[in-house]
Structure 1
Amino acid sequence: MNATGYFTHADCRKHEMGPGHPECPERLGAIEDRLLISGVLDALDRREAPLAAIGDIELAHDRMLVAALRGLSEQLADDMRAGGPPYVQLDPDTAMNVHTWNAALRAAGAVIAATDSVLAGELENAFCAVRPPGHHAERAKAMGFCFFNNIAIGAKYALERHGLKRVAIVDFDVHHGNGTEDIIRGDDRILMVSFFQHPLYPFTDTGTSAREPNMVNLPVPAYTKGMEVRELIDTMWIPRLEEFKPEMIFISAGFDAHREDDLAQMQLTEQDYAWITERIKNVARRHAQGRIVSALEGGYSLSALGRSVEAHVRVLADL
């Protein structure tokens, strides 16, 4: 059995959006501490995330967005040298510091490198412990803590650079993956399945995407419990995934639907994340030679995040 990869980079901890921001560097520390204490980290193939190539970022994003973000980063560095502020605000929730550009390139680069390694047969699957997250980033817009859509880039990369015919994106973050939906809408080579609390940020979906032919995105109310989510997955996700027969599966792994997370009101536990991962892994084994690349999205209660990632990675690594 090939190993499970663990992709990360120190640059991802240098990106910050201001004091008290929930999407903070300590998130990666909480994950790594939990994996280290539990012994899981020792069982993983640890690798450094490279910087993504701009051409690969542009598989999912408009060239103007990429240029704008790079320009903002350079301008911020110049302003700071002249005594200016340490952040530039993109929207009320999303800011850049001088390290954000490299961190975003590392986050996307982790997914790209993991895709290469999994498709080369070096790894069976991989988890990317990276930030900033990605699933709110639209083709032409950074938003919602996100700059580049790491998982959408990985999916497009597998299709365009490796010649796969069909890939699936599974998104179990508590927030609607509006950016991923924007990027892949109408691309029949990609099937997206998700659930998300509604109404909740980004307030962009009321179930309309359920009518898109390549999407099964399911809004659920606050306080939805794990058993209800499991039933939705078995009745709505799994049949479509089985019919689609993906050659590779990408996971937007947000853990903010956990009952301890204050940014939402869903009721999942780490046992639910293990169950979801097992169901995805079963589909991957039947149709995709076990090939999965998972990347961190949300999850803001540090203890719950660490425990949930441990549960997710234990299933990926058959521990």
Structure 2
Amino acid sequence: MTTALITHADCLDHVTPDGHPEQVARLEHVLHALAGMSLQRETAPMVEDSDLLRIHPQAHLDQIRKSAPDAGHHQLDADTWMSPGSLTAAYRAAGAVVKAVDMVLGGDAQNAFCAIRPPGHHAEKQTPMGFCLFGNAALAAKIALDKHGLSRVAVVDFDVHHGNGTQDLLWDEERALVITSQQMPLWPGTGAASERGKHGQIVNVPLPPESDGAHMRAAYEAHVFPRLREFAPELIIISAGFDAHQDDPLAQLNWSTDDFRRLTQDLCKIADECAQGRVVSTLEGGYDLQALAASAKAHVEVLMEAGA
């Protein structure tokens, strides 16, 4: 079996204003770091509206489409912008996770990494925010459950910012265990341990500013890994944000590149135990370009080792 890398050059056409942290160079650095690696390279398709409607209402799709400018930039909120290429990029990003789930559950790859932008885990049902337009990780979960007929799927989000969008989109979905670790306090201000979902299937793991990888590992060993094993997902979806890195400018956690490597190893081990090794990972945050590239490479190297 192999590790699939799913991406598209259209994701480079989502252009944010000068100085914006979610910039084209993020994906360029990730792709450069993965160049030459023995990956099954696949082209991200455009997502079908019928799939997006599994997580967003038609009004949200209409809003995003209407907001796409013919030139320049259109500002959706304080942090979220669209350029002429953003709509296609977002459709490719969502299409990438659908293809990843199809490939992994269809036996065409052991696991997959979606190198895409814009990211997705802050997009709520009808609210684009936090650089995100569509809820990519939540979409992957719904595709696995509703299209492929799985009974249990887990989403693990280790981005430094809380995945409020994924939580919102899967709040009522008892077949999806949603586990997120995040610095707290930090934007968007959600992610308290008391936020547990309609069926108690959401697990928030707040981490204090300036805490390091050792603190993270202790929290995961206490709260995350046991819950994952108890739930026994048939697929693990990873929202892979690398902005908890000690060099990242947007937050104050102090993880190292090796912390991301070890965490990925732990998640792949649980996938081996419960999910036939099946993992789909999608890129979220990470805003120091060198730290992002190194951490994403370490993450994918572990996926390749697990998929060999």
TM range (shorter): over 0.9
Number of residue equivalences: 305
C-alpha contact (below 8 Å) 1:210/1:218 kept by paired residues: no
Q: Deviations over 1:252-294 (max 9, x none)?
A: 0000000000100100011000111011101111111111100
Q: Secondary structure at the match of 1:123?
A: coil
> 1:205 and 2:191 equivalent?
yes
Give every structure 1 segment of 4 or more consecutive aligned residues whose post-TM-superposition deviation is greater than 4 Å. none
C-alpha contact (below 8 Å) 1:133/1:297 kept by paired residues: yes
CA shift, 1:235, in A, is 1.1
Corresponding residue for 1:132?
Answer: 118
Q: Deviations over 1:7-64 (max 9, x none)?
A: 000000000121111100101111121222xx4x2x1001110000001011111110
Corresponding residue for 2:153?
Answer: 167
C-alpha contact (below 8 Å) 1:171/1:195 kept by paired residues: yes
Runs of 5+ consecutive residues of structure 2 not aligned to the other structure? none
C-alpha contact (below 8 Å) 2:184/2:206 kept by paired residues: yes
Q: Secondary structure at the match of 1:230?
A: helix
> 1:277 and 2:264 equivalent?
yes
Q: Equivalents in 2 of 1:118, 1:244: separation in Å?
A: 20
> 1:141 and 2:127 equivalent?
yes
Corresponding residue for 2:95?
Answer: 109
> 1:258 and 2:253 equivalent?
no
The amino acid of 1:310's aligned partner reads: K
Runs of 5+ consecutive residues of structure 1 not aligned to the other structure? 81-85
Corresponding residue for 2:230?
Answer: 243
**Identity of counterpart residues, as a percentage?**
46
Q: Deviations over 1:218-239 (max 9, x none)?
A: 1111111101101111111011
Q: What's the RMSD between the two structures over aligned residues?
A: 1.1
Corresponding residue for 1:70?
Answer: 65
The amino acid of 1:184's aligned partner reads: L
Corresponding residue for 1:301?
Answer: 288
C-alpha contact (below 8 Å) 2:114/2:282 kept by paired residues: yes
Corresponding residue for 2:8?
Answer: 9
C-alpha contact (below 8 Å) 1:253/1:298 kept by paired residues: yes
Q: Secondary structure at the match of 1:126?
A: strand
Query: Which of 44, 47, 50 is the aligned partner of 2:39?
Result: 44
Query: Which of 46, 60, 70 is the aligned partner of 2:55?
Result: 60
> 1:28 and 2:27 equivalent?
yes
Q: Equivalents in 2 of 1:46, 1:169: separation in Å?
A: 23
Q: Equivalents in 1 of 2:51, 2:242: separation in Å?
A: 27
